[in-house]
Amino acid sequence: MRTVSLASGSGGNAYAVESHGELLLIDCGICHRELKKRMDAVGLGLDDACGVLVTHEHYDHVKGLGVLHKHLPDLPLYANLMTAEAVEAVCPSLAGAFSVFENGMEFRAGPFAVAAFSIPHDVCDPVGYVVKADGATYFHATDVGAPLDSVGVKLALADCATLESNHDVPLLNASGRPEALKARIRGPRGHLCNEDAAALVRRFASPRLRHLALAHLSAECNEPALAARTMRETLDAMGMSDVALEVLSQDEPGEIWEA
């Protein structure tokens, strides 16, 4: 199983997991042209897609979904019921297009075994995903408001993980953003700061973890080097210096990693 980020950040999110020539997308928050361009850049093709997993209905995670469905109407779109209904409300062309699952119940998408788990965020019913194939497990959780144990126990299963590390608290506090927005981001249904992401890894990451990608960094309230240093110091202190660490970009695809 291979994983790659195509875009990560508040401007749009899209990720891919590949196994035996089949491709599973997680979110589609960039335009169709840019999605194809970035997939081409890493040697992936939409013709190989076997489904799209949707985490939640925020625009930066679904804005390309309607056009993708228009181009590939038979491509399965997976979401829980409340997320499907929320996306359909803002994109009526997707009405009836979703294959609906229940959180916690494993289902198949091509060669992948998939299970969604609840995460805290300020939308209807947001989820992260555990994806299994080829004897490996991939953990995916962005837009996570708090480092809950229920999220950590899923991280403990991972050989490869994508985890939000959205902001640095001092940079957020010093930003010119409205106080209400700062409070939302810091709140229990907002976004993980660097320290909380590191705390989750410190408490739950297992020795099987080989690759960790830091996702959804704020362009204004974080710095890639700061996020990486916070997490690297944690991994080193855990005796896990051999874990490959990547900070994902909004503007270009990441590295392809074997899970």
Kindly tell me if the per-residue pLDDT of 103 is higher than 90.
yes
Kindly tell me if the per-residue pLDDT of 212 is higher than 90.
yes
Of 144, 137, 163, 129, nearest in space to 231 by CA: 163
With beta carbons less than 8 A apart as the criterion, state whether 46 and 36 touch: yes
Q: Is beta strand 211-215 parallel, antiparallel or unpaired with respect to 244-247?
A: parallel
Kindly tell me if the per-residue pLDDT of 92 is higher than 90.
yes
With beta carbons less than 8 A apart as the criterion, state whether 213 and 254 touch: yes
Percent of the chain with pLDDT over 90: 99
Kindly tell me if the per-residue pLDDT of 28 is higher than 90.
yes
Of 76, 29, 24, nearest in space to 48 by CA: 24
Q: Which residue segment(s) compose the domain that 55 sits in?
A: 2-258
Kindly tell me if the per-residue pLDDT of 259 is higher than 90.
no
pTM: 0.97
The CATH number given to whatever domain includes residue 139 is 3.60.15.10
Kindly tell me if the per-residue pLDDT of 1 is higher than 90.
yes
How many domains does the structure of the chain reveal? 1
pLDDT tens digits, one per residue of 109-156: 999 999 999 999 999 999 999 999 999 999 999 999 999 999 999 999
Per the prediction, the chain carries an average pLDDT of: 97
